Chains A and B, each alone.
Chain A
Amino acid sequence: MKIIDSTKRYEVLRERMGNGDIDRRSFFGLLGAAGLYAGVSGGIMTTMATQARAAGTELNFEGWGGVVSEALRANAFDPYEAATGNKVIDATFGGEAEVLTKVKAAGNTDGHNILHSSGVSWYKRWVDAGYNSKLNEANIPNIQNVMTAIIDPFRAITPDSLSAVPYDYGTTGIAYNTKYVSEEEAKALGANLLLKKELKGKIGGWGGDWANRAWYGALQTGQNPNDIKDWDAIWEKAREHRDLVLKYWSSGAELMDLLAKEEIYVTEAWSGRVAALQAQGHPIAYMDPPNGLAWMESMFVLKGSPMAEAEELLNFMLDPATSIAVAEGQKYPSSLDPNKVKMTPAIEALPAYDPTGKLDKLVFRDPGVWNAVEKEQTKQWNRVSKGG
């Protein structure tokens, strides 16, 4: 059961038009029809749908939207629903901070079960806030195929039991339009490509994460991202970048839209989203600068969720056939160990893919280091991003 709101419906339409799947006339026709539908029948239909769903076990899933959600829906949730009779209600969040705000405001986790959680830092935050569940790994036998290197950082935080299963990984590198930036220039400049003055007004940036900006600030100032000593220098680089930026994007769909329509030529970007753009035929190249930011994502189960059904879903999602299909769809490598599970050529060609299964070539955030400064530096980033 897929519930999408008007904004999401619009984004899907916009992506389809960007891909050339529908023409402009059809796009505006469908947009108008969607608007009328939402206005006339949205509330009633939502109420009726809620009643209709009340019969089965429901799992509320929140994730990143766009191609990622589509890959999960097509390759994991739909087959899971058909196989088990349970229902997965998937929605797009604006980030985990938004979910935490809602959960905190409500005082419980009702309506929130599984999150496509970003990295070990957020795993630690959910655990520290007391919203973590305890998974029974005996009910998730497919976890045996997951890379040890990707599970260990999670186990270090909750040694007794996991609250999530690592599901995919990727990098936040630099995307550039090859019509305007050559590969040689991109490689020569590395992270400093984001500071090229000649591209003023054609540079983008991710506005949703202070740590992403700080990581690139560290690369631009020659500091070790996991051992930043000079924060003033970091934010000075962020200011320099801000003055060149047209738009800080806030979602993967917006990132793809800005690059596809050539509103921006250069931005830091999520590897899978760039792979999706490349698959659509856009002249967008991707590079991971030295010490580029790598991350892993997990399927985090919140406290209070129906655990047996949640574990069943996680096991289903970690099944090699499902996991590989999702990875090909969302264009982020699977967390499964390539030494245990044969990957397809499409996955082996993905940016950030590590054939060794050890992930020792990728640099991840040290949650102990980054979480310790987050309160102070988030505030600083919010100010810098707004001209401060």
Chain B
Amino acid sequence: MMQSDQSADKRPWALLSPSLFAITILVVIPMAFILVYSFYENVDLAVDRVTFQFGNWQEVMTDGYYHTAIWKTLRLSVIVTVLAAILGYIPAYFIAMTKFRDKWLLLLLLILPFWISFIIRTLSWIHIFGNQGALNGLFRLLGLTDAPLSLMYNEFTVIIGFIHVFLPYMILNIYVSLEGIDENLEPAARTLGATPWQAFREVTLPLSMPGLAAGCLLVFVLTGGSYVTPLILGGPGDFLFGNLIYDAVVSELNWPMGATLSFTLLFLLGLVVVLYSRLMGLNQLSKAFR
């Protein structure tokens, strides 16, 4: 009997072993290399000395430049996440609740942008907000302005760029969650005297929270790890922690510092995931995909 229990205990591990193997090879070992590299010393551009020292870590811990970047990254990630949640809920709700027979078409439209390069999608905003972009053209057409308004290369365009790219992730997560809700619940609440808004607030919204929470986590982490969007759409002051990693690795050719910064970002975003799971419960998030 005891032997049978033991063999039963091993089965989950056996089933998980392909995933664990893949994670070890593709995530754990590369991250271990990065961690080891963070203790090396960069003696000149692209020239590193193999050693074990904490200089890079000490610099990241004590230098306000990096702390400012962390603050800017967290702040922008929160702004993008909140806006994406608000803007994403509406289309997700519409797609989930619509009686349109070919609902799959709406979902196809949602994933259609993924067929186009992320960089091109980001660059497309220059043709909308730029001096000779669609928006300025419209303003001139309507006689609202004589000279083009300067709309590009600021935090606003960076936020727009992020939302544009990450919104489908939010919508899909919320949609999956809404789709799983029993469609009789809202009418039931209405028959008990709830207004449409009350029925939504008291029934649908709480039941869709797992999807919303999963979408928020995804958008937050994706934004926090980005660097291309501010590079293309931002001005000099618009940067995230990822841009510092890019500078260290590509511009300064200082891989040990790049490794230190990469690991710092990984730790910070991992910390957010852990805190989030403590507050929201990751098991709750899994409900979004049932």
Contact = CB atoms under 8 A, between A and B. Distances in A.
A246 B235 contact: yes
Given A6-B119, A104-B46, A245-B235, A375 B152 contact: no
Interface string A84-121: 00000000001101101100100000000000000000
A258 B131 CA distance: 9
Chain A interface extent, by class: 35 or more
A155 interface: no
B283 to A, nearest CB: 36
B250 A246 contact: no
B119 A7 contact: yes
B268 interface: no
A98 B250 contact: yes
5 contacts: A6-B119, A35-B120, A36-B115, A257-B126, A263-B153
A262 B45 contact: no
Chain B interface extent, by class: 35 or more
Given A35-B116, A263-B131, A263-B152, A386 B236 contact: yes
Interface stretch (A142-150, A227-235, A342-350, A376-384): A376-384
B253 A6 contact: no
Interface string A114-150: 0000000000010001000000000000000000000
B168 to A, nearest CB: 14
Given A7-B123, A382-B244, A387-B237, 11 more contacts: A7-B120, A39-B116, A94-B250, A242-B236, A247-B153, A263-B131, A375-B44, A375-B45, A378-B45, A382-B251, A387-B236
Contacts of B239: 386
A208 B246 CA distance: 12
Contact of B150 (A35, A38, A98, A246): A246
Given A10-B123, A378-B45, A388-B65, A245 B117 contact: no
A78 interface: no
B17 interface: no
A250 B231 contact: yes
Contact of A378 (B68, B152, B249, B252): B252
A143 to B, nearest CB: 29
Closest 3 CB pairs of A and B: A39-B115, A35-B116, A6-B117
B130 interface: yes
A385 interface: yes
A35 B117 contact: yes
Contact of A35 (B115, B148, B251, B253): B115
B153 A246 contact: yes
B247 interface: yes
Nearest to B237: A387
B195 interface: no
Given A7-B120, A385-B236, A388-B65, A97 B251 contact: yes
B284 interface: no
B198 interface: no
A327 B283 CA distance: 64
Interface string A16-48: 000000000000000100111011100000000
A10 B244 CA distance: 27
A95 B253 CA distance: 12
A247 B123 contact: no
A7 B115 CA distance: 14
B130 A263 contact: yes
A261 interface: yes
Given A245-B236, A247-B153, A375 B252 contact: yes
A36 B113 CA distance: 10
B218 to A, nearest CB: 22
Given A40-B115, A125-B45, A247-B235, A10 B120 contact: yes
A306 B209 CA distance: 60
A355 to B, nearest CB: 37
A83 to B, nearest CB: 35
B53 interface: no
Given A101-B249, A129-B46, A386-B237, A261 B115 contact: no
Contacts of B253: 97, 100-101, 104
Nearest to A100: B46
Contacts of B286: none
Interface string B250-280: 1111110000000000000000000000000
Nearest to A202: B150
A305 B253 CA distance: 24
A188 B195 CA distance: 72
B243 interface: yes
A364 interface: no
A282 B48 CA distance: 47
A353 interface: no
A201 B236 CA distance: 11
Interface string A266-309: 00000000000000000000000000000000000000000000
B24 interface: no
A374 interface: yes
B19 interface: no
Nearest to B258: A101
